[in-house]
Structure 1
């Protein structure tokens, strides 16, 4: 019996989108990871407009994946290990709505899986504060400028310095250690 070759989209906001590409990129069943903007009202916003806070958009990544090869639940597991799910004000030293966290679901099944994973993380005891990541319906997604795409490959030294300097790397290692 031949496997399905269907593709689905997953959209996650986890603070700076530079840090949200590498964990998902180049895994079997992941077809594409795009940095971009979503959940706002401005069509085709620029990075400068999003950072100004006038567009309503959030930095996010949109992942095209084959659920037969890489189930959505695994994407959720990776997502949770990249963020501080207890912080409503942004992520690490990036503050404001454009750096908020969110899971943007594309189907009822994704919504149910996201809600279940959020519940399980909350009950796990890993974090002492409540899990505050909203789960929202996906909206229009606008790819970011080319210089933001796969930033970790284009600027590896700057990417590593950002991971370390922002506190993200330390946080991930402290909470997830060898599980990541």
Structure 2
């Protein structure tokens, strides 16, 4: 039995992304078979166990991020990367949409050399064939400690669908994604 459990663990991978407000970064991944869990949280900073208020103060160095646990037998890391790119504006160095500041910048945090190589290849492919004229500024960084956010931030789009919907549209994210990616998804 123990051998079987450790075998299953090897079939699960983790991907970590910063894409602005983490509320808006959970739903895109939840839609896909093979995605087992998406957790909102904080990474990349220097303060252990930061709170939402600390991260928003822009003094901890953390990004708002999501950690995606997935089964690579069902959905590959390159497919997970495509979902990430199609959920953000990778040309914006100052934040994402209505949210400005370092905690809202985009980043890909790799957990292995293979993820680093695949993330770099994906970034180059997106730059060359994607809908963006400007350079992609999303950095590819080594994964650091990931701290889950407070419970009220988890699956926010499910817990507060009306507020989430207004925020998704009002922040400018919905319109941007529609303009830049819809034609590529048809």
TM over 0.5: yes
CA RMSD of the aligned region, Å? 1.2
Is 2:52 aligned against 1:51? no
Q: Using the TM superposition, give the Cα deviation of residue 25 of structure 1 relative to its aligned residue in structure 2, in angstroms.
A: 1.1
Match of 1:157 in 2: 162
Gaps of 5+ in 2: 1-6
The whole-number CA distance in structure 2 between the counterparts of 1:170 and 1:139 is 32
Aligned match for 1:11, one of 16, 36, 54: 16
The residue correspondences of 1:111-130 to structure 2 (distance < 5 A) are 111-124=116-129, 126-130=131-135
Is 2:175 aligned against 1:170? yes
Is 2:138 aligned against 1:133? yes
Q: Deviations over 1:48-90 (max 9, x none)?
A: 0000011110000001111111100110000000000100000
Secondary structure of the 1:136 match is strand
The whole-number CA distance in structure 2 between the counterparts of 1:8 and 1:125 is 26
| TM-score, scaled to structure 2 | 0.93
Q: Using the TM superposition, give the Cα deviation of residue 27 of structure 1 relative to its aligned residue in structure 2, in angstroms.
A: 2.3
Q: Using the TM superposition, give the Cα deviation of residue 125 of structure 1 relative to its aligned residue in structure 2, in angstroms.
A: 5.2
Q: Using the TM superposition, give the Cα deviation of residue 20 of structure 1 relative to its aligned residue in structure 2, in angstroms.
A: 0.2
| TM-score, scaled to structure 1 | 0.96
The residue correspondences of 1:61-76 to structure 2 (distance < 5 A) are 61-76=66-81
Q: Deviations over 1:65-124 (max 9, x none)?
A: 111111001100000000001000000010000000000000011101100010011111
Match of 1:29 in 2: 34
Whose helix proportion is higher, 1 or 2?
2
Question: Across the two proteins, how many residue pairs are aligned to each other?
Answer: 177
